[in-house]
Chain A
Amino acid sequence: MSNSTTSRGGGTQTVPPTREGSSAASGSTGRTPRPEWRQRLTRLDVRLSPYLYISPFFVLFLVVGMFPLAYTAWVSVHDWSLIGGKGEFVGLDNFREVLGNPYFTKQLVNTISIFLLSSVPQIVIAVVLAALLDNQLRGRTFWRMSILLPFVVSPVAIAIIFGSLYGDRYGLINELLGHVGIDPVGWHTERFASHVAVATMVNWRWTGYNALILLAAMQAVPRELYESAAMDGAGRVRQFVSITLPMIRPTMIFVVITSTIGGLQIFAEPRLFDETNARNGGSDRQFGTITMLIYDFGWQLRDLGRASATAWLLFVVICAFGIANFLLIRRIGALGGDR
């Protein structure tokens, strides 16, 4: 963390460590010497403030965020019926059972496939869209707010609309394809087609959201950088690649990490898309995801133990992907500091 190291060095000049005493600092900076209690106070301020700032968050987070996690971990090593409650301690049996379940592998592959089909195009389009919006547009507010429109649509409406778009027999898309002589696509039955359909729903909903996050970061890039680059004869694309992208890297990391987490936990869209009674992702779980398997174990089969074990297995998968993505993006933009 190079930048942070710099700031620490700076800090040492103003607020010297206790053991060196106070005389050195007040003398060398040439400012009005401050009374010692004041310096102590400042030092206390510097030392305690961070904890003060994070503690309200952590206190609340421990209750609302951590308790459910700890509970799930506790349940995952027990025989635990949703209605009947806690049974025997079974160690890792639940995990073994889940790993041995053929649907786990199948739904893991589905999850990754849908994740790739949604996250990759989503981030690429979001970057382009943010770059377009980072212009001196007429009616800026209008354009910027308009990309959030998908966000206001109620999930109930999304299910209905996308259901009639992607109907296998009477859907609008297949009807249009029919006009140009293409055979109807089995959106709910063919595995890959169903992934595409679900990914479309995801992308429709979340691209604008990611674009807005990236836009905010782009707006924080100092304009002078562009001006001097322009004077050096750099074109707009070149400016974008060599100035904008490196400057928004922390936000880029944020977007990639959160899309990885969100993408691998995808639940609402495939569930809304499903038309079977069991709602676990098509007749042969063509588009069933891991989170749908968790729901199936938990609420359909009422086996909270296996459901919790699946949740923690997904946690491991997400961490692996998250770390890989983090390293990847750090390598891609290996300019500037390590953040």
Chain B
Amino acid sequence: MTRRPGFLVYGLLTAFLVGSAAPLYWSFLLGSHTKEIAAQGVPPLLPGGHFWSNAERAMTTIPFWKAIGNSLLVSTVTACSVVFFCTLAGYAFAKLRFRGRGPLLVFVIATMAVPTQLGVVPMFILMSEFGWTGTITAVIIPWLVTAFGVFFMRQYLVDAVPDELVEAARMDGCSQIRIFWHVAAPAARPAAAILWLFTFMQVWTDFFWPLIALPNSNPTIQVALNQLQSGFFKDYSLVLAGTTLATIPLLVLFVLAGRQLVSGIMQGAVKG
């Protein structure tokens, strides 16, 4: 794979990029015009000059920065927790022998197949038993581990960590935890980076549970953004300025984490 990719590759990627970014640009466009223009549906191709005034309106209507802060906190904590616990369990499922391994893994995967729409009622009962309703804890706890994370890490590690490597380490007298830390964990980095990012994004966009679990004076960003739609008349310029503004911290995070994550993907490639 030493050959440099050609025009076709860049062309296809660019086409994909345009498709991915277009709706985001569209929201920015509508958010940058007056509500009069936004109400007319399809906007002009160039942004108008009202983005900051719309954004300011959005920020004074809802507790914007507080909500962003809450979302950052919830997403970061859960992403780190999922990565840690699921890598550990995923490694055990991928590389260690123990009684009940197969059935337990199938069981974990099967639980993903039950739709979650109804989960809010028992979850709310559970959280109020613990006295956590209304606090950020109630939004964090349900996301601390995911079946998805375990399955993902297991599938990645099964091949990314060669059995011979684990074996060799054991022959050298490494304890299990050392093998995990020095052999499996480095190999898991790219997958862990992706799992971190996905969990972060998923928790960031979650709406229904935070709506129910948190008081509205202390919401996550999605719940706060939803308040912009109050009233029968939807002011698209206001709503979309708000949603666009809310993606800015994410884009910054992407740029900062992006290098880290992608270099993680590269280094993780186990050489033979």
Residues of A within 8 A of B (CB): 1, 3-4, 6-8, 10-11, 14, 34, 42, 45-47, 49-51, 53-54, 56-58, 60-61, 63-69, 71-72, 75, 82, 128-129, 132-137, 140-158, 160-162, 164, 167, 170, 172, 175, 204, 208-209, 212-213, 215-217, 219-224, 226, 247-251, 253-254, 257-258, 261, 265, 267, 290-291, 294-295, 298, 304, 307-308, 311-312, 314-315, 318-319, 322, 339
Contact = CB atoms under 8 A, between A and B. Distances in A.
Contacts of B123: 64, 67-68
B259 A141 contact: yes
Interface of B: 1-2, 4-5, 9-10, 12-13, 16-17, 19-21, 23-24, 26-27, 30, 41-42, 85-86, 88-89, 91-93, 95-98, 101-102, 104, 108-119, 121-123, 125-126, 141-145, 147-148, 150-152, 155-156, 158-160, 163, 166-167, 170-171, 173, 175-177, 180, 187, 190-191, 193-194, 197-198, 201, 205, 207, 221-222, 225-226, 228-229, 234, 236, 239-240, 243-244, 246-247, 250-251, 254-255, 258-259, 261-262, 265-266, 268-272
Given A140-B262, A157-B244, A312-B114, A71 B121 contact: yes
Nearest to A73: B114
Given A141-B259, A152-B247, A216 B117 contact: no
A308 B145 contact: no
Given A72-B122, A212-B194, A49 B27 contact: no
Contacts, number: 307
Nearest to A66: B111
A49 B20 contact: no
A136 B176 contact: no
Contacts of B270: 220, 222
Secondary structure call for the A interface: helix
B98 A161 contact: no
24 contacts: A10-B170, A11-B97, A45-B175, A53-B96, A57-B88, A57-B145, A64-B141, A68-B123, A71-B121, A72-B119, A147-B16, A152-B201, A154-B222, A156-B226, A157-B23, A161-B23, A212-B194, A216-B190, A219-B266, A219-B268, A220-B190, A220-B269, A311-B115, A322-B109
Contacts of A141: 258-259, 262
A60 B85 contact: yes
Nearest to B272: A222
Contact of B113 (A3, A71, A134, A319): A319
Nearest to B23: A161
B176 A64 contact: no
A253 B254 CA distance: 28
Contact of A304 (B118, B147, B262): B118
A45 B97 contact: no
B98 A219 contact: no
Nearest to B148: A258
B147 A50 contact: no
Contacts of A213: 152, 194
A25 to B, nearest CB: 11
Contacts of B160: 217, 220
